[in-house]
Amino acid sequence: MTEWHQLPTEPAFVQNPYPAYAAARNRAAVHHWPAYGMKAVFSHALVAQILKDRRFGREPLEPIDFAPHLAPFYAIEAHSMLELEPPRHTRLRSLVLRAFTSRRIKELAPEIDALCDDLLDKLPQDEPFDLIKHYATPIPVIIICRLLGVPETISDQFLTWSNDMVAMYQARRDRAIEDRAARASSEFADFIRSFAEQKRQTPGDDLITQLLSAEENGDKLSMDELITTCILLLNAGHEATVHTIGNGVKTLLETRTPLSALQDSTIDQTVEEILRFDPPLHVFTRYCYADMELDGHTFKRGDEIALMLAAANRDSLQWSDPDSFDPTRKILTNTSFGGGLHFCVGAPLARLELRVSIPKLFRHFPNLRITEPPKYANLYHFHGLESLMLRA
């Protein structure tokens, strides 16, 4: 098997990883990636297949051996449906979906609309502003606060906890990042536990109350499971949506995409093309549960596999001219939200936030332009901008 000697923190790669993905994919669909010590899969067909193949999963065959200082972080991970397989995953996801319903998501549309208006009204008309800080970041965290039923005044603290925890998945992880993640895990868990106990005494029309009462065959979420679920909804939903808004607006402006792409009749195609073209998450891993051969490639039981989601989204065998941004492109299933049992439970909310927030931005500022060269942050395997300086 060939090796892919790409360092994920290399500055040129952080700014534009797509040429490196294409070169790797053109050589082979699967390479060994020494930087992560695992096999990496680059083709759309194989990534999509593995995402849905039950012989691959998120749980390792052996327990993770972590250092004692990381115990608070892994105490949260132990109850995350993102990290579990059936039957625990089936039970948790079913209970969560009883509260996180499509009807509840649709009901958020007017709130998202009003929140975007409020944020846009506060942006300056005659000087540059940072879209990431003042628009992309507050939208998902405030909406999650409202969903959970926690005061919006806690949103800044939520952001700090979330950023500190998700930094654990970045290639630049070090001891300082680990210590911050452990501290954030403890503090976040303590807050949710205390707030959930309040909601148990005084229920409301919110997700925490609904999660407390969600039941299937007499089974309910434990407090630890509820805490982890709330943290997962914030961390996964916030991080991805912020990056997608920023990456998407950057792409729309750099490609001079006409505003007609943001009309009600076209926005769904545009959002899917944004998600395909420059997604917020570039790698998602699976463990192999049996020796097998797929498409001529050998996988061994216990192997951890890096599924290169962003590389799969630029595969010319799936999309014509994949390195071009085309909002009129026919919608084909991309891998940005994963797939199979672990398809992102928050995908409907993320799509709704994108469908509302991006058109409203351009209706408010139809002559928007970039004032400074955008720079991606060193966050791999996430992919998002440090800032996006714009002017009306």
Which domains does the chain possess? 11-391 (1.10.630.10)
CA 28 to chain centroid, in Å, comes to: 27
Task: Indicate the pLDDT class of residue 219, thresholds 50, 70 and 90.
Answer: confident
Residue 218: pLDDT over 80 = no
Alpha-carbon span 224 to 191, nearest angstrom: 12
Which pLDDT tens digit goes with each residue over 184-208?
999 999 999 999 999 999 999 888 9
Neighbouring residues of 3: CB distance < 8 A, sequence distance ≥ 6:
31, 32, 33, 34
Cα separations in angstroms, 211 against 186, 207, 234, 237: 21, 6, 15, 17
Mean pLDDT of the chain: 95
Q: What percent of the chain has pLDDT over 90?
A: 88
Task: Indicate the pLDDT class of residue 128, thresholds 50, 70 and 90.
Answer: very high
Whole-number pLDDT of residue 314: 98
| Cis peptide, bond prior to residue 151, ω within 30 of zero | no
Residue 371: pLDDT over 90 = yes
Whole-number pLDDT of residue 217: 63
Cα radius of gyration (the chain): 21
Whole-number pLDDT of residue 102: 84
Q: Shortest CA distance to 208 belongs to which of 262, 253, 148, 137?
A: 148
Residue 215: pLDDT over 70 = no
Q: What is the pTM of this model?
A: 0.96
The owner of tokens 């959970």 is 148
Residues 313-324: what's their mean pLDDT? 98
Q: Shortest CA distance to 356 belongs to which of 241, 256, 250, 273?
A: 241
Residue 99: pLDDT over 80 = no
Residues in the chain: 392
Task: Indicate the pLDDT class of residue 356, thresholds 50, 70 and 90.
Answer: very high
Strand pairing report for 304-308 and 38-41 = parallel
Alpha-carbon span 270 to 8, nearest angstrom: 29
Residue 135: pLDDT over 90 = yes
Residue 36: pLDDT over 90 = yes
Residues 117-143: what's their mean pLDDT? 96
Residue 330 φ then ψ, to 5°: -60, 135
Q: Shortest CA distance to 241 belongs to which of 361, 345, 141?
A: 141
Q: Residue 134: what residue type?
A: H
Query: Helix, strand, coil shares of the chain as percentages rounded to 5?
Result: 55, 10, 35
How is residue 134 annotated by DSSP? I
Query: Around Cβ 212, how many Cβ atoms within 10 Å?
Result: 19
Which pLDDT tens digit goes with each residue over 247-264?
999 999 999 999 999 999
**E-only strand ranges, 122-191:** 129-130
Alpha-carbon span 328 to 273, nearest angstrom: 8
Packing angle, helices 175-201 and 223-254, rounded to 10:
120
**Is there a contact between 237 and 350 (Cβ–Cβ < 8 Å)?**
yes
Cα separations in angstroms, 62 against 30, 77, 248: 24, 15, 39
Alpha-carbon span 332 to 302, nearest angstrom: 32
Alpha-carbon span 321 to 137, nearest angstrom: 31
Residue 14: pLDDT over 90 = yes
